[in-house]
Structure 1
Amino acid sequence: MNFKKLILLIGGILIIIAGIFAFNFYNKIYKPNTKQEGYLYIPTSSTIKEVEILIQPFLKKVKSFVWVAVQKNYPNTIKPGKYFISEGMNNNELVNLLRSGKQTPIKLSFNNQDSFQKLAGRISEQIEADSISLLKAFTDTEFISKAGFNSKTSIGMYIPNTYQFYWNTSAKKFQEKMLKEYNRFWNENRIKKAKKLNLSKNQVITLASIVQKETALVKERSIVAGLYLNRFKNKWPLQADPTIIFALKQQAGDDLVIKRVLTKDLSIDSPYNTYKNIGLPPGPIAMPDISSIDAVLNPAKHEYYYMCASITSIGQHEFAKTLSQHNRNAAKYQKWLSKQGVNR
């Protein structure tokens, strides 16, 4: 074989080798590598090794992903969050997504919780922040004071609803957004209605929490709100059983189950005892729903001053204008409870 042919042969072999290398590089970068779709959760302060373990179920070839990630400096730019992985993504697309931090928002929701412990537990199920850090944020006295609340009213800052968050939201960021949402909720129209009732925002929330606990029926809430406002305006004690239950639980613990408020309970020494004290308690007894808050701001106009659970329409109430009428309703209800064997 002459020298010229040898050069051509070597050149051809090098071209083939280069082609193979180029093909392999191309495949590592651009060949589809995800085998399923789903959400990838990357915790704060994750390392590339930890991401490798988390992402493994989505990939056909983990090593090629890691190689591309290293080439694109991803190990030094890891951003936590919730990311949607599509089936058929190549490593370049995948690394670009994770580097960008363009995570998928979540819809976070909570209903009317009656303690910060329960709220922390509910929220920690939906975002990265744990219940301990959330509870610490909720009870941060400096934040509470700056936001215009105190330890007894601050629970009213959290309006039950569905909100958009990022999964890796910290406890502090969650709290800050809740304050913004609270201020957004109290728009000009609601503030105007509260002033017309001569109530502060905290007073509206407090009364709404009683309405919330008093009835599960949204259609009754404006009637119940009107009843308590009739009492409040005339300086009558509210005589709301849910406040007695709240006071009893404060003393005995949240695990206490009360299905029937007894006469002896009405003498409990507590600022939340609305049988002994005139006016509203010092703060909400739970987080009221928007429907309960708006019921207070838009109360039904009537002359009812008394209410009692109905024995004919379970879940509803019998309303009365006079004490004698109420006593008849109450006697029927107490007799019915005894028949059901409800002693506590």
Structure 2
Amino acid sequence: MDKYFKPESCREQGTLYQLKNLVNRRNVSKNVSSNYHAASEFIDLVTDCHVIAACLEYCGMGNLESQCKKIPTALHLADSTVKRRVLRHLVGEIVDTFFLNAITINVDRIEDPASDMDVAPIAQDDAVYNYATNFTKLGLLRKVAVNATRYGDGNRMLRHWKYAMLVYHQGHKIKYRLESFLLLAGVNALLTPRQKHQVIHNRFINLRGGEGHNLDGDYVMELLNRYAKSRIKLLGPNHNETCVERIGKTMMFCHEIQDKLEQQISVAPLSRKHTPQSLHHDRNTIIQQLKNSCVFQLIPGRSHQTFSMENVDIFSNVDVQEVHKWLNQKKREYSFGKNAF
């Protein structure tokens, strides 16, 4: 949102703010903290639409109902194994064409600063195309983090933090950048094998049970803090340190008693299911706008006025020497006994 959501781009087709106005998402604003869920749902929707638009462009399809020209004619006669292999090959080509066009070269350049001088930068004079592909890359990184949390995949989350550290470095989010470093340094050097296993696989909490219902540990802590504050407010002016400590120690126990009591007297539990609003119209509207704007066609000389300096890749402008200088400084600090946690 900081990088791609700018009100001055409201007339530039295919930009995030223009798409927000197109589907009339009035609850989405640049101040994400005012309505985080609205912003996150909008980002996920636009990311999905970009991926679909890229697939339509690569497959030569005018819309979702068109025939895909990349699929062999007699594929419907093949077995499921062959169909799966063809699908994965097609998806791999789409990813390589639009979303891994330069990211591999830039990541290799960052990992090995000695090779920075040997790698020729990729020149691509189409800032509109760069905007669309770079936004999609960041949107997919977010979806990786969300799905890794939802399914409790600690190893995938750890891989995500490697990219997140670069994103935070570019956005000058120094505290989040340090958090990324401490996590990666901890599991690779600072922690014992037992602590490493705990940090990787004990980052999620499931309050409901079942697959795909995990939450971040810090998010659950915020929920518990909110619940504890609501209990303390009931004390009014009579609260003191002893009462607050008692509430903290018995909070979950009292909550379980309340749930069991409600079950025994047949009180209907709070519903955790919400009827999702259909996104069919908004999705088709955004996809059609992206198709009409030809954002995934490489047309040299184009640019959005607001984003005229958009690079070919999200990590193209990372200063390799600066990153390694910071990393070496932190490694020296913690190798000399600085307390990491």
- Shared fold (TM-score greater than 0.5)? no
Normalising by structure 1, we get a TM-score of 0.24
Q: Higher helix fraction: Structure 1 or Structure 2?
A: 2
Q: Tell me which protein shows more strand as a share of its residues.
A: 1
Q: Which structure has the bigger radius of gyration?
A: 1
